[in-house]
Amino acid sequence: MKQLKNKLAAGFVALFAFGTTPVIADETCQSPYMPKITGQEEFVYVWTLGEAGVGDESDKLVTVDVRPESDSYGKVIASLSVGGLNEAHHGGFSADRRYFWAGGLDTNKIFIFDIHSDAAKPKLHKVVDSFVKDSGGAVGPHTFYGLPGRMMITALSNDKDHGGRTALVEYTNEGDYVATYWMPTAENPQGAKIDSPVVDGFGYDVRALIRKNIMLTSSFTGWSNYMMDFGKMLKDEAAMKRFGQTVVQWDLHTRQPKKVMHVPGAPLEIRFPWGPNSNYAFTTTALTSKLWLIHEDDEGEWHSKPVADIGDPSKVPLPVDISIAADDQHLWINSFLDGMTRLFDISDPHAPKQVYEKKIASQVNMVSQSWDGKRVYFTSSLLANWDKKGADNEQFLKAYDWNGKELIEKFSIDFHKEGLGRAHIMRFGSSKLYSS
Amino acid sequence: MQTVPAGRVFVNGVAILLAGVLLIPGSPLQAADTKSSWAEEASRRASEPVLGLPKINHPEENQPTPGKIALGRKLFFDRRLSINRTMSCAMCHIPEQGFANWELQTAVGVEGRTVRRNAPTVLNAAFYRVLFVDGRDTSLETQYIAPLVARNEMANPSAGYVVELLRSLEDYRGAFEANFDGGPSLDRIGKALAAYQRSLIAGNSPFDRWLYQGDERALNASQKRGLGLFKGKAGCVSCHLIEETHAIFTDNAFHDIGYGWWREQQRQTPRDHQQVEVAPGVVYPVPHAVIASVSEKQQPDLGRYEVTQDPDDRWKFRTPSLRNVAVTPPYMHDGGFAQLKDVLRFYNEGGRAHDGLDPVIRPLELSDRDLRDLEAFLTALTSPDIPRLIEEARTAVPDNW
């Protein structure tokens, strides 16, 4: 516990000093501002979409016990329904890691869960139902990225046409609206340097590299596409033209866009490595199945380039979530349509190589690994109307051990049999973060 | 909201020139509803003839007033009028996209539910005697109820639920009473929405100036040749009517041109692979089995038959007006054609032959130049008044929670 306290204290130093080494961080992919669980995580929170004919059909936050010594190891120990189908998708902790913010891409509601009062049983603390009105028209709260005292939220769409043009929206930790930062567009680049034939103004993920004062955003698609039946969309030539093709570099402090880079094929998750001299980030393009490097050159200029194929791009495996190891040597990449996870050696970020692959299920979306990389968790749901149909619509949380050579399954929870729904983003919890 | 000077707008690769201003979606929105000025102009426009269009036949009991039009506009853009507060009329009939939707072949409703048909423009809807492509309604005063309660559109539990909602919303307090003889009701909601939609009049096109004003320079040589083909060899005018004093470019009737039948054959016998453009210029053949694994069952569309149950009406759809057609892609009842040239090619091939094909549909034997001229003529049907209608539509931000 003393060790944990020291880490928390170090965290506050880093938080205000923007130290050169992210000595505190979350489990590999989270905001570097927040305390992390370096040892055994106790709980996995799964933000779960309600599903017609399954349980109470409501979106819910599911808590799974992952304490190896617990009698309820590998079991659901809490389920908190929030009501309705909101298109539950992503969520993130506040920088103090006391609250978990989770968004609904359809209804634009933001659910703020108290996870510190009882880490084993989250409580619904507050619902923000004015996101569209607050922001001046942003739709689809997606990534929740904890900044000191603030929550930076990417949106995916807008309330004028449900297309992909959108914004970053900032709230206080208390859930009060602060500001909206619209993505640069061809008509209004907002002073950003344009290094792309397309300036789409789309959004998806946001991540920051504090010591470089860099924030990156990626670009997906608007409400009409992410809400519609996936098969219908693949056959809709007009809709298929409406996917993001850009990554935007921002000034973290001023929230001003600095550069628009060309990354065609819908770049999704962004991950910065943790090394003190690692001035790059990875993203994957869902539609073109490529791993991209966003990197800084010797003159301090940031660029984008594809560095590897993920599976056979012509078969459109649809890479989705990625998880970078804490030592920056490996990157897990899930692909939805073939249900595969692939591990890439990224020791040379300019030339990643696949070193392992395993089929997880008929479909797989999210991947989260523990800080030590020894445990890897997978969930299944992509979007309510993009998930596979019929028997292929497997919904699960699966836990594996990674021994450096292969994934060994520890437990699997069938979210249909448990009456829960479609399992989406996972975040780790621990009561030890809050005990004195 | 941001305005930029007029310029070329690219729709599916086609450059479209709009006069005046164009509003750019996704930018910070402007406030103040200046209804006193814009709604008065809209009311005047709805009451007086517009070049190229007939006088609107307003129902006796629903004559246009600025107040009704302003209230109708507010209702049209109110996202709270769907079960989960995500959809309004304007989310499918998008002002900046020709009051249609350029970005989807077929519409998407509440919770992403599938709509079988393309969202048509509501510009000049005042001139249709039958509404929806299957003609299942005949009045703008009642038409709105169908999308309001359709499970795959706005999905309200009942029409009465919406009336109660409007009675409870603070920002509607007194709005109905000021324009009608009482508060919110189904009848009054319909009248307000109809009044607004009947103000969305877009005539005065280059074609109108050429034919009805004698402005020789309004059409170029190619467009004039195209008009000649339209009225002559191609025979388009037999359904897309041009009359002596005006032209609404529709006969308000139902025809089987072979398209609906053809699409049904494709639904029943899908191709082995679907060409999917994953990024500009990057196209992969995706196996049908992969697409089927993430697809709900596609529903058939029998057109007018779904209203009449008469087998002779299978795959008949209402003739669409061609006004503003260049700024309202994609085309056909299911948006299956991205560009005008695709539509012209279909007609030139004689539609798709089968038993019920309308006899006016036949191979046209038009040359490439003929097709280019016809397309040029169709671009002369775009109204210069659309930017003004967009501006009016965006006098206030959409209502949200």
| Disruptive mutation site among A160, A290, A362 for chain B (greatest number of B CBs within 10 Å) | A160
Alpha carbon of B136 to those of A157, A333, B130, B132, B305: distances in Å? Answer: 33, 50, 7, 6, 10
The answer to whether B94 contacts A160, with C-beta atoms less than 8 Å apart, is yes
Q: Is B290 exposed, middle or buried (0-12, 13-18, 19+ CB in 10 A)?
A: buried
The answer to whether B278 contacts A160, with C-beta atoms less than 8 Å apart, is no
CB-CB neighbors (< 8 A) of B119 in chain A: none
* Cα–Cα distance measured from residue A172 to residue A97, given in angstroms and rounded to the nearest whole number: 14
B382-398 residue pLDDT tens? 999 999 999 999 999 98
> Quick one: closest CA in A to B152, which residue?
A228
Q: Is the ipTM of this complex over 0.85?
A: yes
A58, β-bridge pairs: none
- Per-residue pLDDT 10s for chain A (436 aa) are 444 444 444 443 333 333 333 333 337 888 889 998 989 999 999 999 999 999 999 999 999 999 999 999 999 999 999 999 999 999 999 999 999 999 999 999 999 999 999 999 999 999 999 999 999 999 999 999 999 999 999 999 999 999 999 999 999 999 999 999 999 999 999 999 999 999 999 999 999 999 999 999 999 999 999 999 999 999 999 999 999 999 999 999 999 999 999 999 999 999 999 999 999 999 999 999 999 999 999 999 999 999 999 999 999 999 999 999 999 999 999 999 999 999 999 999 999 999 999 999 999 999 999 999 999 999 999 999 999 999 999 999 999 999 999 999 999 999 999 999 999 999 999 999 997 6
The CATH architecture one would assign to domain A24-433 is 7 Propeller (2.130)
| Token duo for residue B40 | 């008065």
* Cα–Cα distance measured from residue B37 to residue B29, given in angstroms and rounded to the nearest whole number: 19
Nearest CA of chain B to the CA of A237: how many Å?
8
Q: Of B345, B318, B341, B342, whose CA–CA distance to B125 is shortest?
A: B318
**Cis bond leading into B330, ω under 30°?**
yes
A 25-84 residues with CB < 8 A to B? 84
CB-CB neighbors (< 8 A) of A223 in chain B: 86
Q: Which residue has the tokens 């006004």?
A: B323
Domain positions in chain A are 24-433
The answer to whether A288 contacts B108, with C-beta atoms less than 8 Å apart, is no
Q: Is the dihedral of CA A12, A25, A22, A262 positive or negative?
A: negative
pLDDT the model gives residue A38: 86
Half-sphere exposure of A381 (CA within 13 A, CB side): 28
| Token duo for residue A363 | 């479909």
Nearest CA of chain B to the CA of A239: how many Å?
5
Q: Which fold has domain B206-257+303-379?
A: Cytochrome Bc1 Complex; Chain D, domain 2 (1.10.760)
Backbone φ and ψ of B213, nearest 5°: -120, -10
CATH superfamily of domain region B2-202+384-393: Cytochrome c-like domain (1.10.760.10)
A 117-136 residues with CB < 8 A to B? 129-130, 132-133, 136
Q: Alpha-carbon Rg of chain B, whole angstroms?
A: 21
Nearest CA of chain A to the CA of B94: how many Å?
6
Backbone φ and ψ of B342, nearest 5°: -65, -40
Q: Of A132, A185, A288, which is closest to B282 when you measure between CB atoms?
A: A288
Under DSSP, is residue A231 helix (H, G, I), strand (E, B) or coil?
helix
Domain positions in chain B are 2-202+384-393, 206-257+303-379
A217, β-bridge pairs: A206, A248
Residues A123 and A172: beta-carbon distance below 8 Å: no
Q: Is the pTM of this model over 0.80?
A: yes
> Quick one: closest CA in B to A162, which residue?
B91
pLDDT the model gives residue A3: 43
> Quick one: closest CA in B to A231, which residue?
B295
